[in-house]
Amino acid sequence: MPPITLAWNLWTLKTIKWKIIGSTLSIIVLMGIIIIGPLKIMFSSSSWKTQTILYQNGHLPFKKVEFQMQDVGALGYNKRTVEVIYLTDLFMIVSPVEKDIDQRVEWIKVDKEINELGLKFP
């Protein structure tokens, strides 16, 4: 879309000031897409789905350690294990898991299957 917008701005805008402003904005967006990468932008739209709740915090019931997967189409699945703090059903804070989580007293091992992706494992 940025190349089309760039061409549109250069041909339709009358004053040189607006041509410069319009083309600069289009070039910045195009450079951002090139730097980040179009595949990364497309696949970032897919959300992470919880497959297993590994640990539950004994003091805070809304704090969990989860194994999550992200469907990236023909490239398969991304996988991660993260600590999740649920603020609401829609909002959460995600952070990396510490290495010694199984030795900490406040974490209770749960191993509860959620399978939000609906994958069937043999």
- Kindly state the percentage of the chain with pLDDT values over 90: 38
Residue 53 shares a structural domain with residue 86: yes
Residue 17 shares a structural domain with residue 69: no
Question: How many separate domains does the chain show?
Answer: 2
- Residue 122 in this model has a pLDDT that exceeds 60: no
Residue 15 shares a structural domain with residue 56: no
Please give the backbone phi and psi of residue 109, each rounded to the nearest 5 degrees, phi first: -70, 125
Q: What is the pLDDT of residue 79?
A: 93
pTM for this one?
A: 0.64
Residue 30 shares a structural domain with residue 50: no
Residue 12 shares a structural domain with residue 64: no
Q: What is the pLDDT of residue 50?
A: 92
Q: How many angstroms separate the CA atoms of 102 and 62, rounded?
A: 18
Q: What is the pLDDT of residue 43?
A: 67
Residue 67 shares a structural domain with residue 104: yes
- Residue 94 in this model has a pLDDT that exceeds 70: yes
Residue 55 shares a structural domain with residue 28: no
Residue 60 shares a structural domain with residue 104: yes
Q: What domain range includes position 82?
A: 46-113
Q: Are 6 and 26 in contact (CB under 8 A)?
A: yes
Examine residue 108 and state whether it is found in any structural domain, yes or no. Answer: yes
pLDDT-derived band of residue 117, with 50, 70 and 90 as boundaries?
confident
Examine residue 10 and state whether it is found in any structural domain, yes or no. Answer: yes
AA identity, residue 43: F
Residue 57 shares a structural domain with residue 84: yes
Q: What is the DSSP string of 33-88?
A: HHHH-HHHHHHTTSPPEEEEEEEEESS-TTEEEEEEEEE-GGG-EEEEEEEEEESS
pLDDT tens figures, 57-68: 999 999 999 999
